Structure 1
Amino acid sequence: MGRRILNEALSKLVNAEKRGFATAQLQPISTVMASFLNIMKKRGYIKDFQVYDPQRVGKITVELQGRVNHCRVLTYRQDIKAHEIEKYRIRALPTRQWGYVVITTPNGVLDHEEAIQQNVGGQVIGYFY
């Protein structure tokens, strides 16, 4: 259920980027979605996001920057070990220069660079470039 919500939210985000909108509204929300957007913000793919009323259904308003070309969430469970992250990144992303694979680990939700640096594996949530 949670990955379906994240997949719909990221497809709304990509569609808003393609249409040239300045903001996108995502609803319903989850904590994993906020973590995913936080990684996108830290890596410079979105400007900022605001979470409104997280106790109920809630919504997130995302300020777009125009850098997101594609976002994908894996709807199936993909376990990955720390030494296999680089192989998976090469297979999932179009080039070595840009894009990130997002992984949920025991240390929290991390992108592939942080997971390699901390030497932890986990489950692949998705990727963006």
Structure 2
Amino acid sequence: MAMSDPLADMLTRIRNAGMAGHESLEMPHSKIKAGMAAILKQEGYIDDFQVSEDDKQGILKITLRYDDRRQQAITGIKRCSSPGRRIYVKHDRIPKVMSGLGVAVLSTSKGVMTDKQAREQKIGGELLCQVW
């Protein structure tokens, strides 16, 4: 079955792995997923990620982050834009997630970035998802 929304698949895999208490998870690699993983790491939601080669597109391995009580760092993750309904925002219209406690991820002309980076650089883009 061809996947129509690989990013939603990625978010679902992260959500499910976290709820099941897994240390890490793997998925097919793509540039946008790697960009997403880089932001999740930079914002402290995951411990690490690696891209390994295989015969096809490569594999993205994500190591999840938990606290001392085995609570997942990501309490919520929500897909905003979808292939059927793209959501684009201007830099001054980027939503604040959980009053700034969470992070919105955007796909811009300068690559995948957080809501804060996009506001600073005054560029809008497609609102991919929100994480808190």
TM (norm. structure 2) is 0.83
Identity %: 25
**Aligned match of 2:76 in 61, 70, 76?**
70
Q: Partner of 2:10 in structure 1? A: 9
Separation (CA, whole Å) in 2 of partners of 1:62 and 1:119: 30
> Do residues 59 (structure 1) and 68 (structure 2) align?
no
Q: Which residue of 1 aligns with 2:125?
A: 122
- Distance in 2 between the 1:108 and 1:60 partners? 18
Higher helix share: 1
Indicate if the aligned counterparts of 1:68 and 1:128 stay in contact, CA closer than 8 A.
yes
Q: Unmatched 5+ residue regions in structure 2?
A: 66-71
Question: Does structure 1 residue 81 correspond to structure 2 residue 84?
Answer: no
Between Structure 1 and Structure 2, how many residues are aligned?
122
| 2:119 is equivalent to residue 113 of structure 1 | no
1-side partners of 2:3 and 2:105: how far apart? Answer: 15
Aligned CA RMSD, in angstroms, stands at 1.9
Q: C-alpha distance in 1, partners of 2:89/2:100? A: 22
* Unmatched segments (≥5 aa) in structure 1: none
Which ranges of 4 or more aligned residues in structure 1 deviate by more than 2 Å? none
